[in-house]
Structures are given as structure tokens and as C-alpha cells.
Amino acid sequence: MELLSPSNFKREKYLQLAHGVILLATLLFCIFWLLVLSLQDREVRLSPRSLPLPSLDYSKIGKGSFAISAKAVSPELEPLVQELVLLGKNTRPDSGILSRIHLGFKSSGAKQELVSGQKLFIAKQGAGFQFSEAATDLSILPLSLTGSDVLLQIETSPDKKEEIILAPSSLFQPAIEEEAYVQSLKKGKMWAPDLFLNQWGGEEYRDLSSKHKVEIDEKIYFLSVGDTLWWDGGEWKIGSSILEDAPLAKLVAVTSKDLKIAVWDSTGYVSSSVVIPLCQGSKASQKAEEVITSVRPRSASEITCQLGKRRVIVKEGDWWVKTDRRWRPLRTAGDLEAFLLHDIQGELFIFEKIESAKGKITLKGRSFDKMRTETEPLSLVVNTEKKPVRKHEPHPASKASMIAKNKIAAPPLQHQNSDGETKP
């Protein structure tokens, strides 16, 4: 009998351990790839592209109550397919990973809400069907597809499954076109890029200049593709809804001519889309030279002028905006922010500087239209000539009254004779 030395025994033990590790790694590698191939096979089977395209005959299958794939189901499942109705699928962007699906039966009127991937048992009820809480041989498994369609797996036994594609029926969905929140979007306006923000917004507001400006119910929204709005019952607000039953809207596409907004009701089962066209620029009502008149110097950095119907003092760096037919300066931080966000709207004059060259004083600045989509440079020559001193003359009315007064106060005219006597 040959005995192993301690060193040989350790070597043999390490070799066995290494051999076991290699076998285990090989086994795990094989299991991993089997799982990957299995998942890929499932994705291919569930992919909408791998399924036949829907072929609908609304006159024969309930006037659009559902859609089935071109692949026919077995005869025993025809009654079930004819009864099933997709009442809706929650396609709202805030619906979460698992979309909620609303199914029903036409004859019984039974309805059931569930999430994608949730199995639902079905039992026969006379000539129709009903949803069952208890396990039965007949079950359906809805799986969410892209858009509003649903892939429905029908299982009659563990080894027998068939698939159809359901599309939501407009006959079973309430119309939302006349709802106030949809009508407000339909009356919306898309405006061209904001030239004022691009030049004067600063770092804090410069990102707004890259967004799309949309006017809804006289309120301005700065939106990017993918941004959402929620309806609070009276107006749209930007961001995620803080109310569970609030309608939702999302900016989905923008072109140079219009933008498209998708809108959902509070359930998410009913949706629509609204296209808002680009609005033409709002021209200034008057030219700057017609609005700013009688410009005179007051100091090296100030001038006086007639702005509309007001005589005002203007300094370098002043912003003047026309609101409610009246010009007013924007000087507080609150006013400036409100104007930047369009909470204050109106034509704008920016007085940048007062230049003096070749004996002339010129007021330099820039004007913007109400929606700040058009801008023009401003250059006005300041009148430095002194006003001529005029002798004060009484007003014609007061002059006439003085003449009348003198007539009343004057004594009768008298004639003097050679004797020094005065006779009337």
C-alpha cells in the first residue's frame, strides 16, 4: 500500500477543489444562458411585431367593440371572443409600470379592472360569461402593448393557449372633446421663441428661452417635449398631479408650424390629442418714435420725455412696459420676475444708454412686442435746444373779460372846452 505524503495530499485536495469550482461555474453559465434564451423567446412571442396585424370587420364583430388578430381562434373560444370588450387601457404617463386595463362582457355588462399581467378566471353563465374569483379551467391574461392595444392570452388548459389583440372600443368610451379642459387646449396658441429671454433672461431664466411658449386661457406656459400638465378644475398647472382624479396633458411633439398635446381623462382610459398652431407675432401698436416724443436731457444719465400721455423721467437701464393703456416702469424684483414669466404682459421699451457724439445726444435702447417674439432697435435724438422765452400773454378768454371789466369801470367820455370845462 502506497502512502501519500502530506504535500501530495494537499496537492490532490486542491486539484479536487479546483475541479469542483470549474464544474459549478460551467453549470451556472449554462443555467444563465438557458434563462436568457427563454426570456428572449417569450419577448419574441409577446412582441406586437411578431403577431399578425389586427384585421377588423366591425359590422360582424360588434361594431368596433374589440379587435382580434388575423389568426383565427378555435371554434370553442369564438363565443368568448365575441363577448369580450376592452373598455379602456390607462395610457397616462403617470399610470406606472403596470398599466391598468378595463375589460367587460357585452351581454351581461359585467366589468373588471386589473393590471397588465394579472390572470383573470372566467366562468360560463348560461349562454354568456362572467368573471370568477374562484379558479376555473378558463382564464385570460392581458398584457399591455404599445399604445392602447392589449394582447390577451386565453388559456383553457396548461398546454393550450391562444392569443388575440384587443383594441379599445370608442362605443364604450365617453367622449371628452367637449370637456372644459380639452376646449381650453383647443383654444391655445403656440408662440415663436422668446427673443427677450434669450438676450435678457440671464443665467437664472435662460433655460426658459429654449422651451416652447404656449398660451392657454391667457396664461403662458414654458414647455419642453415630455412635460406634463394637470387640470385643477379651473386651469392647467405644470407638473405631476396632486389630485388623484385630475385630467392630464402631455406635450408629445413640436414642429416649426404647430405642437401636439395628448390629453387624458381622470381614469386614463379615454384620451384625445390636440394640435395647437403657431400664432403670428403680435405687432407693436405704434412705432417707438410715435410713442416717445419731446425727448430732452435732464442729466448725463437721465432724460425727460413724453411717453404716451405721461411726461416721465427715464434713466439708463430702465424698463418701461405698457399695461392697460398706461406706461409704467419695472423696477422692483417682483415686477421684473412677473414680466419675465409673462404674469405682466405688454409692449416693452428698454432704455440702455445715453450717447453723446458730434454734438448730439442720442437715446439708445430696444423695443419688444407684447409676446416678445419681435424686437427692434431704438435710437432717438435728444433735443438739446433751449425753449425760447415767451412773454406771458393772458389767455383770450381772460383778455376779453378784462376788456369787459374796463368798459364797466370807465367813466363817460368828456370833452373839454376852451375854458377848461369838461362837458359830456
Average pLDDT over residues 211-233: 95
What distance in Å separates the CA atoms of residue 84 and residue 256, rounded to the nearest whole number? 43
| pLDDT recorded at residue 347 | 92
Q: How much is the pLDDT for 38?
A: 55
Q: What is the pLDDT of residue 385?
A: 65
Can you give the residue ranges of every domain in the chain? 6-46, 51-172, 180-277, 284-424
Highest mean pLDDT: which of 198-212, 250-264, 306-320? 250-264
Check if the beta carbon of residue 271 is closer than 8 Å to that of residue 91. yes
Q: Note the pLDDT tens digit of each residue in 323-349.
A: 877 899 998 999 999 999 999 999 999
Mean pLDDT of 346-355: 90
Is the pLDDT assigned to residue 59 strictly greater than 60? no
pLDDT at 219: 94
pLDDT for residue 101 is more than 90? yes
Instruction: Supply the pLDDT for residue 64.
Output: 41
Q: Give the single-character DSSP code of 69.
A: B
145/10: higher pLDDT: 145
Q: Is the pLDDT of residue 398 over 70?
A: no
When pLDDT is averaged across residues 42-64 and rounded to a whole number, the result is 35
Note the pLDDT of residue 403: 38
At residue 44, does pLDDT exceed 60?
no
pLDDT band at 53 (very low <50, low <70, confident <90, very high): very low
Pick 369 or 56 by higher pLDDT: 369
Please tell me the predicted confidence (pLDDT) of residue 355.
85
pLDDT at 105 over 80: yes
pLDDT at residue 142 in the model: 94
User: What pLDDT shows up at residue 52?
Assistant: 34
Is the pLDDT higher at 92 or at 289? Answer: 92
Q: CA-to-CA distance for 72 and 163, rounded, in angstroms?
A: 9
Q: Which long-range contacts (CB under 8 A, 24 or more apart) does 202-205 make?
A: 205/340
Q: What is the pLDDT of residue 400?
A: 45
Distance CA 418, CA 421 (A): 7
* More confident of the two residues 386 and 164: 164
For residue 335, what pLDDT is reported? 92
- At residue 236, the pLDDT reads 97
Q: Dihedrals φ, ψ of 202, to 5°?
A: 75, 180
Average pLDDT, the chain: 79
pTM value is 0.67
- % pLDDT > 70, the chain: 76
pLDDT (0 to 100) of residue 418 = 37
Task: Choose the most confident range, by mean pLDDT, from 204-208, 242-246, 363-367, 399-403.
Answer: 363-367
Residues of the chain with pLDDT > 90, as a percent, come to 40
Amino acid at 128: G
pLDDT digit string, tens, across residues 122-133: 998 888 899 999
Give residue 308's pLDDT band: very low, low, confident or very high (50, 70, 90).
Answer: confident
The arithmetic mean of pLDDT across residues 196-223, rounded, is: 89
pLDDT band at residue 65, thresholds of 50, 70 and 90? very low
Residue 28's pLDDT band (cuts 50, 70, 90) = confident
* Confidence class for position 186, pLDDT limits 50, 70, 90: very high
In this prediction, residue 95 carries a pLDDT of 84
Read off the pLDDT band of 287 (50, 70, 90): confident
pLDDT at 11: 59
Instruction: Of 268, 199, 182, 193, give the one whose Cα is nearest residue 224.
Output: 193
Average pLDDT over residues 138-165: 90
